[in-house]
Amino acid sequence: MKGKNILLCVTGGIAVFKAVHLTSKLTQAGANVKVIMSQSAQKFVTPLTFQALSRHDVFIDTFDEKNPAVIAHIDLADWADLVIVAPATANVIGKMANGIADDMITTSLLATTAPVWIAPAMNVHMYDHPAVKRNIERLASDGYQFIEPSEGFLACGYVGKGRLEEPEKIVTLVETFFNRQERKTRLSGLHVLITAGPTREKVDPIRFFTNRSSGKMGYAIAEEAKKMGAYVTLITGPTSLIPPKGVQVISIESAEEMYEAALNYYDKANIVIKSAAVADYRPKIVHNEKMKKQEGPLTIEFERTTDILHELGKRKNHQILVGFAAETNNVTEYAKSKLERKNLDMIVANDVTEKGAGFQGDTNKVTIISREGKEKVYPLMSKNETARAILNEIELLLQGDEQ
C-alpha cells in the first residue's frame, strides 16, 4: 500500500468516528490519504481531526479552491488510485445512483476513473428499504464495489445489519486489492478464453435436455482474469448471471454452438479455460413441433456431441489449455486420465458430491493437477477465491514457459 493514493469520502453518520480510525490505519500502512467531508459529517467530527491524521488538507467545499493552478475536485479525482466512501449514508448512495453532483464528494465521484468502494452505514430498516436496495443494485451494476455492513448493536438502539465494517477489515481489503493490482502485469495483454455454464440440447420447440451448471465458476474466473489485466472472452451457455464488467460475452445455447464459438476464438487466445458443463449427448432427431403425449413409454435416441476439449487439445499450439473434471467418484484418477487424453496443461478436479463443492453453489473445493503430475489440494473457498487460485497456477505455468 506504500505510496498509493486513497481518496476517502466521509458522509454524515455516527460511524464517522470509524472513518477517523480508518484514516489513521491507512496512513500508518504507508498510503497517501486525502479526505473529503460532507457538511453533515462535520457535525460529528471536525475537519482538523482528519487533517492531523492524514497530514493533508481536508476538502469540504466544491468552491474552496486551495490551489489556483487546478480545479480541486477534478484534481482529487485524477489523483486517486482508489476512492472509498465510508461511511456511506443512504443519502449519498441515492445521489450516486442517480448521477447527482451537488457537493464536493459527489462531483469528485462523478469525475474519477479510479475504482470506487462504498461502505454503507445506516439503520437496519433504512438499509433494507426498497429504494436503498434498488440504488445499491444500480451502483453494483455500474461497477461500484460494496463493503458490506456488519451486524451488531447500532447507535439508534437497534441490533441488525447496518454497522460500518471495522477499519481493520477495510484496510485488509485495500491491501489485498493493491497486491492484486501489482500482479496485474502477469496477464496484461494476454487473451483469456473461458467457457461457462450449461448447454441446452433441444427435443422440440418447448423441451430440452440440460444439466445443473449455474456458470458461477466460469464467471468468477472471467471476473478475476479481467482484474488481473487480461482481455477476456466469455463463451456462456444460458444462465441468470450478470457478466463481469469489461468482458466480451458470447452467448450460446447448444454444445455445437459452443464448439463453433470456441474454435472461432481459439487461435487468438493465449489461455483457454474450459469450465462449461457441456452435454455429451443430444437428441438425434429434433422435432419442429411440440411432441404430443402418447400411451406408454417414450424412447428418445441420442447421439454424441463434439468433444470440445478433445478437439481443442488436438489443435493446441501456443495456448495454455485448462480443463475441469466434475466427478462423483475416483476423482483424481479420472481427472489425470482426462488431462492426458485431451492434451491439457492443467486440470481442475472436484467431487460434486462433497458439501459446498457441487453445482449452483457459491463455494468450491478443488484439486489442481498439472501436466507434470503435481497436485495441489485447496480447501473449501468462495468461487472467486478458487478462480484466483486457478489463475495463480496458470501464472506459474507462464513463468515456466518463459524460463
Residue type, 178: F
Q: First vs last Cα of the chain: how many Å apart?
A: 30
The DSSP code for 360 is T
Give the Å distances, CA to CA, from 27 to 4, 14, 20, 56, 176. 10, 22, 11, 11, 16
Positive or negative, the CA dihedral 339, 340, 346, 349 is positive
d(CA 76, CA 36): 9
Question: Could you tell me the residue ranges of all domains in the chain?
Answer: 5-182, 187-402
* CATH classification code of 187-402: 3.40.50.10300
* Residue 39 to residue 125: CA distance in whole angstroms: 24
Sign of the Cα torsion 57, 61, 62, 65 reads negative
What is the model's pLDDT at position 403? 44
5-182 and 187-402 have identical folds: yes
Q: Would you give per-residue pLDDT tens digits along the chain (403 residues)? A: 788 999 999 999 889 999 999 999 999 999 999 999 999 999 999 999 999 999 999 999 988 877 877 788 898 999 999 999 999 999 999 999 999 999 999 999 999 989 999 999 888 888 889 999 999 988 888 888 888 876 555 454 545 556 788 899 899 999 888 877 666 556 888 999 999 999 999 999 999 999 989 999 999 999 999 988 899 999 999 999 999 988 999 999 999 999 999 999 999 999 999 999 999 999 999 999 999 998 999 999 999 999 999 999 999 999 999 999 988 898 899 999 999 999 999 999 988 888 777 777 888 889 999 998 889 988 888 888 899 999 999 988 887 754 4
Q: What pLDDT is attached to residue 401?
A: 59
pLDDT in the model for residue 279: 95
Closest by CA to 105, choosing from 183, 19, 164, is 19
Q: Which residues are catalytic?
A: 156
Q: CATH for 5-182?
A: 3.40.50.1950
DSSP codes, 282-342: EESS--SSPPPP-SS-----EEEPP-HHHHHHHH-SS-EEEEEEEESSSHHHHHHHHHHHT
The cell 463481469 sits on which residue? 244
CA gap 23, 49 in Å, rounded: 10
Calpha distance 274→323 (Å, rounded): 5
- Give every strand in the sheet of 346-351, ordered side by side: 248-251, 231-236, 191-196, 271-274, 320-327, 346-351, 367-370, 375-377
360's CB contacts (< 8 A; 6+ apart) are 212, 213, 214, 216
User: What does each C-alpha distance from 349 to 229, 247, 327, 384 come to in angstroms?
Assistant: 26, 25, 7, 16
pLDDT score for 260:
97
Q: How far apart are CA 158 and CA 271, in angstroms?
A: 50
Q: What are phi and psi of 331, to 5 degrees?
A: -60, -55
Q: How many residues does the chain have?
A: 403
Mapped onto helix, strand or coil, the DSSP state of residue 231 is strand
